[in-house]
Each structure stands twice: as structure tokens, then as C-alpha cells.
Structure 1
Amino acid sequence: MPRIIFSILLVLLLLSLGAIESRSDDSNTSSGPIDYSQSTNGQLYEQAKFYYNQLLTNQSLQKSRESWLKGTRNFRRLFLLNPKDELAPSCLFMLGRMYRQMYENFKLGLDLDEALGNFNELIRLFPGHRLEDDAHLAIGLIYLNQKQAPQKAANSFETIVTRFPEGDMRSVAADKLKLLSKEYDIALPKILIGDAQSDELNTIFPAKHWSSQDYSRIVVMAAAPITYNETIVDQKDKQRRLFYIDFKNSYIEPQFRTRTSVKTGLLKQIRTSQFSADTVRFEIDVESIDSYKIFSLPEPFRVVIDIRGKKEITPILTKKSELPTPKLDIPPPSVPLVKSTRQIEKQKPVTVVSIIREKQKRVFPQESSVPKKSISSKKPISPQAISLAQQLGLGVKKIVLDPGHGGKDPGAMANNMLEKDIVLKIAKELKPVLQKELGCEVVLTRQSDVFLPLEERTAIANTQEADLFISLHINAHPSTTVRGTETYFLNFSTNADAMRVAAMENATSTHQMSDLEDILSDIMKTSKIDESSRLAQNVHNAILSGIDQKIFGEVKNLGVKQAPFYVLIGADMPAILLEIAFLSNEDDARNLQDPKFVASLTKEITSGIRSYMQINTASLDIQK
């Protein structure tokens, strides 16, 4: 009861003051007195707005703080007379606006507090009103521009984008949040981080990197396909170079905006930043750049940057001489060399290939009937067929074995067996055999049941400066009658079954595989296609001819094939992928569990590599 009496007395007091002020101001304004007893709420509001507009246009009124206070009292009286009227929220909003402008004019902190108080009162008393998001925006702008409180400003803007997704203030609030994220490392709300549609930003994750003295691979993962561009800048001392890659319409969380130093190798430093409100920049500092490649891989979408530094080349021949045809113990197998019909142009600015997953019926052809090839043919080598490795007299000193899949990726599954377990076992048994028989250093990409992305496996081989890269896999097929061995090297393919296997190993679709042609066209320029095809043929033939088929049954020859396997992309050395057998076939599965078969398999793989080494890296007796 006392509160009601107090409210009535306050209203009467304000009315009496209004009458006095109206009389005293008649001579100073053209608005005339505001008669609160005879006017409707709408008329009173329009009169208050009229006086406010006079303040904005009349310079003499603008300079008088008392004139501004009179304007605020006009809206306050109307609100107190009708606190539940439809115009009440507008009165509070106008009060907040006027006090904010008074602060701009007179720089009194109490005016700013009054502005915040009125905007907050609107939000508290009229939730869901059309002006609520405007009030939140006004509060955010005060905290951002006048109070210098960016986190409080972000809280207000976040309320707008989350609670008023269809409101007219959303785009303004979203832009402010992006700016705050860039300038103050304030995390964006999840609603603004999506799949690069509309004003949502695509999430960028921290870069992974691998580096050796003259090679670096950097991989950046994104939540969805995204566009990017790169720039190379010389440092002031011209000793090192900066490589910028900018991801458009993107965002990286504040905790990942860091500078990572790399102490050894070609790569020196990676700096990650929110370069602009909608651009993430990776600044890559390298010792030198001789060439680079950028390509993207799908599911999850990631961008791979391969940078190769400048090498100091020491001439091998000190005087002019001719290279004789080497005498080889074992003649080469009949290997069809790959002829590329594509013209590789000079490197162009890279644009992303946005690959969208598409469900597509896969074609599973019948069993291949490729005839077995013999390695016993005695064809002489022509001088033109001598490989570059032969000419340079290079040896195979290091081999990287890659047991496919691992961890969360089981690979093929059939007959109560997992591909990831079988290939790891084979790799561990193959390693000591290679070391003993060939005198090579052997490195495994994984020693245990851990997950490795495909691009990391190639990076390991490159940073290890391996001479050969062999990825071990077990095949699978919907038909349980399909069995046999097939060997792959990196290239394009129109063979449906080869594309099926590549899609399975790449964990993607055959449709996406066909989309890779543009990406691969430039990469193939530097890949070891001819050397890889020779290695594949030698190892494949050794397995076919060496496995005792009387004991283990027929080892069906499915041939040496080419396909765009992600794990082979960017390899600096001859690289092949072995599909040893079919886990889906009971006979093949039984052999894979037989220690004698595994021992025989490791022996024949070693034999095939030895044949390749003898043919392609024979020591030369250079005639002087």
C-alpha cells in the first residue's frame, strides 16, 4: 500500500513540474506546452520525439545540458504514466539513446550509466519485444566504444546472434563479434562457426607439420571445404622466405592463435592468426623455397602444403665421360611405362577443389583375368632404358614401411580379422628381413595400433629421406570368391576396380576420386612414376613366383595397376601400395593367419625389392 501511494505522489509531482517547465519553455521552443491531461499516449510520444529532433538540429539547444535533461523527462513521465503501454519500451529506448548522446556531448560518466540502466530496464521489463535486440546492441556498443570492456560487449552481441537469429541486428552483432575475436582474441559463439554458409565462419584447426633439411609438409584441417590463396615474401635479409596462406571466411579459436618455432630443418616457424574478421592466416617461415605444391583432400577436408627447399648440388662427374651400359645379374621384367597425355603447365595460383560427398552406386567388376608375368625373360637393356638411379649409381639405403590403417581406422574387416592388425604384424616381420638381407635401414610409420592420417605417412617417408616407400594393405570385396594379389603405384586410372580399391583405402567415394584429377595433374610432374612402376612390377612378380602355391593355394594375379592413392601423393621416392590378399576370401584369410605364409611373403617382398635394386641402382664402372 505505501508503494502505491508513493508512485501516485511521484506521478503528480512530475505532472506539476511538467506544467511549470512547459510554461517556462514556451518562449524558447516552438513545440508548445505538453498537456499530459488532454493528450493521448501517442500524441505525448510524438511531442517528446519532436522535442528530441529539435535537440538534434538546433545547435543552441544541443549545447545546453538542461535542454537534454528536459527531453529525457518528457519520455520518463510518459513511461511512468503508462508503464505497461505499448509505447513504454520505446520510451525506455529513447531514454537510453538520449543519455548516450548526452555522454558524447558532455563527457559525464553518470550519463553513460543512465543509458545502460534504461537499456537494461527495457530488456528486463519487456523480454521478446522488437526493441530488445536493439537494446542489447546499444549496450554492446557502449561497452565496446566507451567503457572499453570488450568481453562485456561480446556478451551482448552474442545474445543477439543466439537469441535473435532472424533479427535485424544479427548481422551487425556478428560483424562486431568477428572483429572482437580478431582484435581481442575473444572466442566466437558456436552459432557463428559452421560450414561457411551465409555469415557463418568455417572452423580452421591448428596446423600439423613435418620437416627435414630440404622438405616440409604442413597440413591444415577445416570443418568444411574452403577457399584459400598463398603468397611468398622475401625477408629483409633475403636469407629466409615467408609463405602466407590465407583461408577465407574462416575462424580459428583464440587458444590456437600462436607462434610455433621449429628448431631444425627447412621449416623454422609457423604463426597462426585471425588475420581479419573473416580470414585465418598461416605464416610459414622457411629457410628457402625451391618449389611448393598445395592440394586438398576430403573427409575430413584438409589442405596439404608441400615445400621443398633449395639443394646444393655437387657434380658427380668431374670430367666429361660417357656412361656405359651396366652389366646386370638379373634382367628387367617387362614393365609397361606410363605415358602421360596431359600437358603439365607451370604452377598456377591454387584454388580449392570443394569436394562434396555424393552417394553413388559402386561398380564391382568380375575377377581380373590378367595373365601372370614372368621375371625370367632375357631381354637386353637398351641404353635408353637405363634409369636415372642407374646413371647416378645410387643405392637404396633406407626403406619406409607403412602398415595401413590403425587405431580408430580398422581397415577391411572380415572372417573375424582386422586389416590394421594383419599389416602391422607383416610389417614387423618384414623389417628385420629387409635389414638382414638388403643391409637397409627400415622405418615403420607406426609401431602400434595408432591412427595416422594418410598425409602424415607420406610426410614421414619424405622427412626420413627414404629411398623407397611401401604401404602394406589387405583387400576386401563384396564377393567372397574374389582373391589374389595386386600392386599399385600412383597415377590416374580409368579402371573401375582400381578406383574402388583406391576409394576404400582413401576412405572416400569413387566420385570424389574422379574429382582429384585436377589436383593430381600438377603433382604427377614430380612423382616417381616410372621408378614406382618398376618397383611395383618387381615386388609383384616376386610374390607371384615365390609363394608356394602347392602349399598355400593359388595366388591369383590381379596385376600391377595405377590409381590415385592419397597415401602416395607427394612421395619424393618410388612408392607402391601392396594389396597382399583378400580378407573377405576364406582361403586368403586362412593364409594370412599362417606364420609360414607370412614368412614366405616377407621373403618374396624382400626378393622383389632386391631385384629392383639390382636393376635400377646397379653400381657403374664409369669409363674415364
Structure 2
Amino acid sequence: MVRGKLSLILIALAAIFAALPAIADYDRGRNAYYDLRADGARNANPIEWRAVAGLFAGAELQGDRPADALYMSAFCYERAYAIARNEADFSRSTEYYIKLADSYPKSNLADDGLFRAGAMFEGVGDTERAKALWRRIVEEMPDGDMAGTARKSLKKRPKRIYFKEARYFSAPTYTRVVIELSDRAEYASQSLPPNIEVKRPSRIFIDLDGVVMRGVSGDELSILDGLVTRVRLGQHTPTKMRAVLDLDADSEYRVFPLLEPYRVVIDVFRSEGDGTGKLGSTGEEDIVTRLISGANKPAKKPLRTESPSGASTKTAPFGEKRYRIVIDPGHGGSDPGAVGRGGLYEKTVTLRMAKALADSLKKRLDCDIKLTRTKDTTLSLSERTAIANGFGADLFISLHANASRSKKARGIETYYLDRSSDRSARQVAAMENKNTVDSVAETEHILADVLLGMKTPESKRLAEAVQSELINYVTINHGNVRDLGVKRAPFYVLTGAVMPSILVETAFISNPTEEKWLSSSKYGGTIAQAITQAVEKYLTQ
């Protein structure tokens, strides 16, 4: 009997150890993926992407996350195709995306795979194949998060796309240019070195296919910030608009789109390297170091740690670095945000909380603080992130008040930028982004490079620290509060931030009890103390 039990234990252990290499294969693939994203030279090489795709393909065959591995393998082959336009990469990527739906139809990535495969076929002009795949989503996965987007894709008709306007945000080490269009457009970007003979500076150009400039043949933005001299906009061909950024310094850049309205965003960062190059999506860590190096001075005072009741307890050394934190009071000006049943405006609440948080952080950390707005002014979502990047912030914290159709909904939740964790997270992102749930789902695909390459682990750790302290402080000072947890979603206000960034839904303004909390200065002070405590813990760990 004992021998029989021992045999069963040995068999079980053998099974466990047999699975370990497979799990390690997936982790190895994921680590290789992030390493590749972070390497600006390697991530422009299709061979590197094929190698990582191979790691994921192996993990699909023997691992415990076959659907995830197959999706990532297809995605890596898609990246290789985008660089080299090799038909074999295209075939393997679309084959794996479709195989994902065929082999793992219950995976939440099945409809994502079909949609991406459809988009790839549409990109090469095979609209019939694309529509067939999108119909599969609608018919076989009507409850999937891509069903609504697939329906819209099936209905869309070719039409002219018009240039609407261009605007910019400027700082000494960072410039953001936003080009707004009437609809979505394909685009390609490239950097060119300076031509000394004809006195032509380094430049970045973006070609926007199918875009027409109405009434004008060209336009120009004069910036002169020491990084970007000007932006020239022109009708390059009858069916292509070109934007050219003339540069004053070596730089790195990235380009990504935002939906509703459709915008193409160009972020340019001052570089210490030679020439101008395109950023891999996780090259931001080095940029942040460059942005703030030499600009921060040692802290003058030690940290003071407070209890949830507000009493000062012990002191702790802060270190030699003076941190920079940007606080974003959500909404403002013509955008009131959510409105409570008692008439309380979200924009009013967030500004009051932001000022309280700024005061609390300065007292505790002796850091440099910047608010994206200090008055009831209107700011676009992309401007808010641009302010944080331009300031060289170490952290970006966006403050909001939640809302629901149900007055019973209550609680606190904290978000970081990534693919949506669930449908409720997607609904909150839609509310804050001012678009539809279907658009949020599509945004995750359009921003795949940005979302998968951001400082996700650091942002998640900050979100966890903030959520924990908020629940602790609010419970002690105001009574029972529902902990809705840490979630992820593609918020526009966090997109493009090159530092750990979070969005905090501090309470439900649509709940009568929590609206009263939000209207009181005491609750604002509690939120400020809690976030300060969390930031202190995050920065000193």
C-alpha cells in the first residue's frame, strides 16, 4: 500500500517537473519579447522577431498557456512582416491567428486573433478574406469584445479622409505634435539625417495615405523649442499628405494613433546619441533617465511617515534623488466629467483633490510637483500626458471620480495602462476616453505596440500601493468602502507617458453617500494622505 502511494507521488512529481520546462518556455519567450522591444537596434530586425516567434510557437505545443503563446507567436510574425514585408511572415502570422480561433475557440484571444488576421488581409487589399474573418467573429463569438468592432468593420465604406488641424506641446527635451484627421488613415514614418551641403537639418516625416488637405496645399507650425524647429504639412501626392518635422537636435521619436477623433501623435525626445532614430516602445526607460538626469537635486528633508489617522510617526531617509511628480485633475473647463445626483461636478472634485495631494506630497517628500491644470480650464487627454513627459516626471497620477447608472455602485479602483482586465474596466475606459466600449476594444489593437511596451510592471506596482493605502485610509476615516481592486485598461490620458502612470477612481459620484464624501474637504485630505503614503512606499522600496 505504501509502495503504491509512493509510486503515485513519484508519477505526480514527474508530471509537475515535466511541465516546468514548458512553463519556462513561455516565460522565456515573454522575456525575450520585452528585451527585444527595449532594444532600438534589434527591434528593427525581422530575424529577431522570427526568433522570438519561434520561442512562443514551441511553448504553444507543450506549455500550459497554448492560446497565449500562439497569439504572441502570430503577433511577432506580424511585426516581422511589418518590417520586411516578407510573404512567409504574413502567411505564418495569419495562419497562427486563425489557428488560435480554430484550436482554442473558448480563449478570450480567439476573436482578437481573427480580427488581427482580418486587418492584415485588408491591409494587402484582400477585403473579401478580411470580411469573411470578421463575419466569423460576429457569428461564432457574438459576445466577444471584438464583435462590435467586427460589425463596424463589415459596414465601413471607402471615403476621403481630410486633414483637420495640427497642434503641438513643447518642452526643452520633448515635443509632441498631434495631427487630427476626419477619419482613420494608414501612415508610415521615417527619419532622415542632415544634409550639410544644402543646409538641410535632420528631419522626421510621416506619410498619411489617402489624406487630402482641403483648400490649402500646405501649412506650417513654427515651434523653435531647441528640439523641433517647425512642422511642415503638405499634399505630397494627390492621395497622400506628408508631415515633416525639421529638427534642431539629435532625437528619438515614436508615432501612434488615437481614436475618436482620429489623431496621429508624434512624440520627439532629445537624444544624447548620434542622429535621429525611431524608438522601440520600451525605450522609454532610457529616455526618462536622460530627461531627468542633472535636472534633479538632492532632497533637503527626510521623509516623514504618517499613520492613517494623520499622526506623524518616524522619519526615513529619502535618498539623493529629488523626484518629480505630475498630478492630473481629470476633466475641467468645458468638460465637467461625471455629475452627481446632487449636482457635484467631477472636474471640481478632482481639482480640489489634486491641490490637496500636491500640498501633502511637498510636505512629505520635498519633491517637485506639477499639476496639469490649476484652474477650471479645458485640456485634451493627449496634452496631459505631454505635460508629464515635458516635465520629466518620475510619476504621473490622474485623479477621477467614477460614475454608474446604478446609484448603488460604490467603491475605489485604481488603473494602469494595459489591455482591459474585464468588461467593466473597458466601460470605465470608454467613459474617460469619451468613446464607445467597442472603440476601446479596437484601441487595444491599434495601440498594441504602445500598450505592450509601456512601463507596465512599475505602473502596476504603483497602482497596487495606491489602492491598498486608499482602502486603508478611507476605511479608518470614513467607514466601510468597497475595494474594487487594481485593474488595467487603455486610457488615452495614460497613453504615451514615459513614466509609471496610474488613473485613480476615488469614489462613485453617482452614489449619494460617496458624493457627500467627494464634496467634503475631509475626504479630499484622506485621499491626499493615502496617495502620499503609497508614493512614499513606492519610491523607497
TM bracket, shorter-chain basis:
0.5 to 0.7
8 Å CA contact 1:270, 1:282 repeated in 2: yes
Query: Tell me, what secondary structure is at the counterpart of 1:482?
Result: coil
Q: Distance in 2 between matches of 1:496 and 1:457?
A: 26
8 Å CA contact 2:203, 2:246 repeated in 1: yes
Aligned equivalent of 1:33: none
> In structure 2, what residue type is equivalent to 1:544?
I
Aligned equivalent of 1:590, options 476, 491, 516: 516
Instruction: Give the CA deviation at 1:254.
Output: 5.1
Deviations 1:509-531 (A, max 9, x none): 11111112333321135421111
1:207 equivalenced with 2:207 (yes/no): no
| 1:301-320 mapped onto 2 (5 Å cutoff) | 301-311=262-272
Instruction: Give the CA deviation at 1:539.
Output: 1.4
Distance 1:493 1:548, change over 3 A: closer
Deviations 1:403-430 (A, max 9, x none): 1112222211222111111111111222
Instruction: Give the CA deviation at 1:239.
Output: 8.9
Aligned equivalent of 2:321, options 395, 403, 416: 395
Query: Tell me, what secondary structure is at the counterpart of 2:502?
Result: strand
Aligned equivalent of 1:234, options 167, 183, 193: 193
Q: Which has the larger radius of gyration?
A: 1
Aligned equivalent of 1:297: 258
8 Å CA contact 1:568, 1:575 repeated in 2: yes
Q: Distance in 2 between matches of 1:228 and 1:558?
A: 39
Aligned equivalent of 1:275: 236
> In structure 1, what residue type is equivalent to 2:271?
K
Instruction: Give the CA deviation at 1:263.
Output: 2.2
Deviations 1:232-275 (A, max 9, x none): 22221399421111223333355693333322242221112233
Aligned equivalent of 2:429: 502
8 Å CA contact 1:201, 1:251 repeated in 2: yes
> In structure 2, what residue type is equivalent to 1:412?
A
Q: Distance in 1 between matches of 2:205 and 2:218?
A: 15
Note the residue ranges of structure 1 that are not aligned, 5 or more in a row.
1-195, 317-328, 332-389, 616-624
Aligned equivalent of 1:563: 489
Aligned equivalent of 1:220: 179
Q: Which stretch shows the higher mean deviation, 537-546 or 285-294?
A: 285-294
Aligned equivalent of 1:263: 224
1:475 equivalenced with 2:434 (yes/no): no
> In structure 2, what residue type is equivalent to 1:273?
G
Instruction: Give the CA deviation at 1:456.
Output: 1.1
Distance 1:609 1:457, change over 3 A: same
8 Å CA contact 1:239, 1:288 repeated in 2: no
8 Å CA contact 2:192, 2:204 repeated in 1: yes
Query: Tell me, what secondary structure is at the counterpart of 1:604?
Result: helix
Aligned equivalent of 1:442: 369
Aligned residues: 347
| 1:339-418 mapped onto 2 (5 Å cutoff) | 395=321, 397-415=323-341, 416-418=343-345
**Alignment TM-score, normalising by the size of structure 2:** 0.59
8 Å CA contact 1:407, 1:449 repeated in 2: yes
Deviations 1:602-621 (A, max 9, x none): 11111111111111xxxxxx
Aligned equivalent of 1:428: 355
1:460 equivalenced with 2:409 (yes/no): no
Distance 1:596 1:452, change over 3 A: same
8 Å CA contact 1:330, 1:611 repeated in 2: no
8 Å CA contact 1:396, 1:613 repeated in 2: no
1:542 equivalenced with 2:469 (yes/no): yes
Query: Tell me, what secondary structure is at the counterpart of 1:524?
Result: helix
Q: Distance in 1 between matches of 2:226 and 2:414?
A: 34
Query: Tell me, what secondary structure is at the counterpart of 1:451?
Result: coil
Distance 1:538 1:256, change over 3 A: farther
Aligned equivalent of 1:512, options 425, 439, 442: 439
Q: Distance in 2 between matches of 1:613 and 1:202?
A: 46
Aligned equivalent of 2:419: 492
Distance 1:557 1:494, change over 3 A: closer
Distance 1:472 1:396, change over 3 A: farther
Instruction: Give the CA deviation at 1:548.
Output: 4.6
Aligned equivalent of 1:92: none
Deviations 1:535-571 (A, max 9, x none): 111111111112254x522121111111111111111
| 1:313-332 mapped onto 2 (5 Å cutoff) | none
Q: Which stretch shows the higher mean deviation, 260-269 or 232-241?
A: 232-241
> In structure 1, what residue type is equivalent to 2:193?
D
> In structure 2, what residue type is equivalent to 1:408?
S
Q: Distance in 2 between matches of 1:465 and 1:256?
A: 37
8 Å CA contact 1:201, 1:278 repeated in 2: no
Runs of 4+ in 1 over 6 A off after TM superposition: 313-316
Aligned equivalent of 2:526: 600
Distance 1:525 1:330, change over 3 A: farther
Query: Tell me, what secondary structure is at the counterpart of 2:352?
Result: helix
1:611 equivalenced with 2:528 (yes/no): no
| 1:65-80 mapped onto 2 (5 Å cutoff) | none
Instruction: Give the CA deviation at 1:470.
Output: 0.4
> In structure 2, what residue type is equivalent to 1:300?
P
Instruction: Give the CA deviation at 1:505.
Output: 0.8
> In structure 1, what residue type is equivalent to 2:255?
I
Aligned equivalent of 1:100: none
8 Å CA contact 1:296, 1:302 repeated in 2: yes
Q: Distance in 1 between matches of 2:525 and 2:421?
A: 35
Query: Tell me, what secondary structure is at the counterpart of 2:165?
Result: coil
Root-mean-square deviation (CA), in Å? 3.0
Distance 1:511 1:197, change over 3 A: closer
Aligned equivalent of 2:478, options 533, 539, 552: 552
Q: Distance in 2 between matches of 1:485 and 1:547?
A: 10
Q: Distance in 2 between matches of 1:247 and 1:597?
A: 48
Q: Distance in 2 between matches of 1:208 and 1:394?
A: 38
Aligned equivalent of 2:125: none
Q: Distance in 2 between matches of 1:524 and 1:250?
A: 26
| 1:135-214 mapped onto 2 (5 Å cutoff) | 201-214=160-173
> In structure 2, what residue type is equivalent to 1:612?
Y
Query: Tell me, what secondary structure is at the counterpart of 1:244?
Result: strand
**Alignment TM-score, normalising by the size of structure 1:** 0.52
> In structure 2, what residue type is equivalent to 1:480?
K
Instruction: Give the CA deviation at 1:396.
Output: 5.0
8 Å CA contact 2:219, 2:232 repeated in 1: yes
Query: Tell me, what secondary structure is at the counterpart of 2:532?
Result: helix
Bigger share in strand: 2
